[in-house]
Structure 1
Amino acid sequence: MQGKITKGIAGFYYVHTEGNCVYECKAKGVFRLDGKKPLVGDNVELDVLDQEKLLGNIREILPRKSQLIRPEVANVDQALVIFSIVKPRPNFNLLDRFLIMMQQQEIPCIVCFNKSDIDEEEAGRGYLDIYGACGYRTLMVSARQNLGIEQLKELLSGKTTTVAGPSGVGKSSLINCLQSGVVMETGNISEKIQRGKHTTRHSELIAVEKNTYILDTPGFSSLGLFGLEKEELGAYYPEFAFYEQDCRFRGCSHISEPACGVKKAVEAGRISRLRYENYCLLYEELKNKKRDYQHAGR
């Protein structure tokens, strides 16, 4: 029988199969010998041990088409990052960090702004324009009033999507809207899991409809930049690319050089000043991180 791992805690893996059943499984020891660890999102072959109690063993991990490092999950097609328009207002520096992290892992992103129902200043439209101009798919929703949910479901249909966002933006409410009406038969959670369930922070795949899953991840309030040099940062701001040809100097950092095409585009309003200012902050952070590392090595 084939299925997809939707959750893994303390050596137990929960595998969703056709027919909306979820089997509690252990992985065979051969995986440890091969140095291969089952991940949330893995498509697997399982042997059923007890149909009534929905217990099984994972026999084989099927080939992965992708594997994320943060969060550690397999076979993700895209990412949905959720920020609220108001209460709280978006932390755009944090949003840009997340987009960079996904680009590093070659995962396309959808930028979603929630709480459109209380956007009295209509700021959300401007946010869509900023990130839409950068090439990201964007949309505005209200989980409370169920606005924009059908459009979002269309973007998620047939894909496995990792869903992320800081605390307080309505991520859980939005996920509840997406999975409304989905009822899965679930095996009994073991006593071992019961003891740890209130303290374990884990990622979990949720079946929305056939072949459509969303990966709920813990909320974040900060994100570091890893595996990135300051000279590479500009490549993660796709709106810069067209204007870099107008820079006088090859390898222009777009910070202090004269005759910089990117800075001219910012002044002319063709590149978002908000995005450019975030770029400058992140560039300085990467610059200082490298300097601190060099000093520590002396």
Structure 2
Amino acid sequence: MLKKPDDATLQEGRVVQEHLGRYIVSAGDRLVGCAISSKLRKALEYPTADPSSLRQRVIAVRRIPSVSPVALGDLVAFEDTGADKGMIYQVLNRRNRLSRRAAGRRPLEHTLIANLDLAILVFSIRQPDLHFWLEMLDRFLAICEMEEIPPLICLNKIDLAEEAAWRSAASLYERIGYRTLPISAAHGTGVESVREAIREAVSVFLGPSGTGKTTLLNALQPGLGLQVGEVSRATGRGRHTTSHAELFPLEEGGMVGDTPGLRELNLYNVDADQLHWLFPEMRPLIGSCRFRNCIHAQEPDCAIKAAVESGQIDRLRYQSYLRIRERP
């Protein structure tokens, strides 16, 4: 762990904005623009999980260098140098993080956001239909399992579907233990339940285009969808805001994070042979197969496949497992 300079009095704060290598740190009721100390900038590897955690069980490489030691949402120790300027000397241990493989040939990790209390997974029942995106939903859930981030599945646009359709989808995930909310952001149905869930929490909204994330964000707080959308729309356009990331404050307490790259989340560093640990319904059966190294695909006497045939494990979830295993 990095030590502070002898002549520096360090304060703790949370990184709420990042733009072109400059950071805004929230400390109490103050916002301080900070740079990263040269010593910290050179320390691009961090132990970010307890050795006994699920993350450490399933990852393929224990330590991967990072493109930057500081990410949105990080809790940091910084020196206030006056005039609302400061220097970050230390990143405190992360509870969790969402990251992706960095661009380029080098195997670097790009941490997008850290220390989340909740991930809101927004998927629509209709327009676009949920079955087109089940693999993405299951991939996001596996990431949440690995990082120990509580997910909340919002099944949006229930006003466009028959009740049996959204109840069936909700039941599939509720049986596994995931909290699911059927909502209609356009009509306000279920919005108050989402608002209560994110109150006083640091959250992130994930989901494919067209599923109603912007409508939901605007229903939760007028203008919030526009603020978040400006960050996402900057991605890939060559504008100076491409590297901008921000935690937006909520009027009733809490923050919603957005940063370019959230749509590109994947399980790039997961050992494919350990992926079954990220599917909660499979865990009780791990070790019950005929072969110890069973990957639950073509092997005989596989407990997971038997559970699929008996209906104990949903076939759609099993198909997602096989596809994610092939392409994490």
Partner of 1:63: 92
Which amino acid in structure 2 is aligned with residue 9 of structure 1? Answer: H
> Matched residues in 2 for 1:83 and 1:226: separation?
23
Greater shift in the superposed pair: 168-177 or 220-229: 220-229
Q: 2:116 and 2:148 mapped to 1: Cα distance?
A: 10
Instruction: Tell me by how many angstroms 1:222 deviates.
Output: 5.5
1:181-200 equivalences under 5 Å are 199-200=241-242
2:202, 2:254 within 8 Å by CA — same for their partners in 1? yes
Aligned-pair CA distance for 1:170: 1.5
- 1:98-137 Cα deviation digits (max 9, x unpaired): 2223333333322222222222364222221112222222
- For the residues of structure 2 that align with 1:240 and 1:74, how far apart are their CA atoms? 27
Where do residues 88-103 of structure 1 align in structure 2 (5 Å cutoff)? 88-90=128-130, 91-103=133-145
1:7 aligned residue: 17
Separation of aligned partners in 2, 1:28 and 1:220: 27
Task: Give the whole-Å Cα distance in 2 for the aligned partners of 1:131 and 1:256.
Answer: 26
Q: Is the CA contact (8 Å cut-off) linking 2:116 and 2:202 kept in structure 1? A: yes
Q: Secondary structure at the match of 1:238?
A: coil
Q: 1:121 and 1:210 mapped to 2: Cα distance?
A: 31
**1:164–1:218 Cα contact (<8 Å) kept:** no
Q: Deviations over 1:26-66 (max 9, x none)?
A: 5566644766844311345564855xxxx433566563442
Is 1:170 aligned with 2:231?
no
Percent identity among equivalent residues?
35
Q: Are the equivalent residues in 1 in contact too, given 2:17–2:246 (CA < 8 A)?
A: yes
Matches within 5 A, 1:125-144: 125-144=167-186
The residue aligned with 2:310 is: 268
Stretches of structure 1 that go unaligned for 5 or more consecutive residues are: 183-195, 287-298
Tell me which residue corresponds to 1:295.
none
- The count of corresponding residues between Structure 1 and Structure 2 is 269
- Greater shift after overlay, 202-211 or 59-68? 59-68
Q: Is the 8 A contact 2:20 2:243 kept in 1?
A: no
CA RMSD of aligned residues (A): 3.3
**Distance change in 2, residues 1:111/1:203 (3 Å):** farther
Deviations 1:157-191 (A, max 9, x none): 33212222222212122222333499xxxxxxxxx
Q: Secondary structure at the match of 1:76?
A: coil
Query: Which residue is equivalent to 2:74?
Result: 42
- Alignment match, 2:124: 84
* Contact 1:164–1:216 (CA under 8 A) maintained in structure 2: no
1:236 aligned to which of 278, 287, 296: 278
Aligned-pair CA distance for 1:263: 1.9
Partner AA of 2:71 in structure 1? L
**Of 63-72 and 28-37, the range deviating more from structure 2:** 28-37
Match of 1:191 in 2: none
Paired residue secondary structure (1:275): helix
Report the CA distance shift for 1:80/1:253 in structure 2 as closer, same or farther (over 3 A). same
How big is each residue's C-alpha offset from its partner over 1:236-280, in whole Å with a ceiling of 9 and x where there is no partner?
Answer: 111112344653333332222233332222222221111111112
Q: Which amino acid aligns with 1:272?
A: D
Output the TM-score relative to the length of structure 2.
0.68
1:82 is matched by which residue type in structure 2? V
Distance 1:152 1:10, change over 3 A: same
- Any idea what SS the aligned residue of 1:72 has? strand
Q: 1:67 to 1:264 in 2, by over 3 A?
A: closer
Whether the aligned pair in 1 keeps the contact of 2:153 and 2:179 (CA below 8 Å) is: yes
Return closer, same or farther for 1:259/1:109 CA change in 2, 3 Å cut-off. Answer: same
Rounded to whole Å, the distance in 2 between the matches of 1:256 and 1:209 is: 53
Look up the match of 2:3. none
Moved more, 113-122 or 28-37: 28-37
For structure 2, list consecutive stretches of 5 or more residues without a partner in the other structure: 1-10, 45-67, 101-110, 225-237
In the alignment, residue 66 of structure 1 is paired with which amino acid? R
Match of residue 48 from structure 2: none
Q: Distance in 1 between matches of 2:278 and 2:185?
A: 30
1:150 to 170, 181, 192: 192
In our comparison, the structure showing a higher alpha carbon Rg is 1
Q: What code does the residue aligned with 2:16 have?
A: T
Task: Supply the distance in 2 between the matched residues of 1:153 and 1:265 (Cα, whole angstroms).
Answer: 37
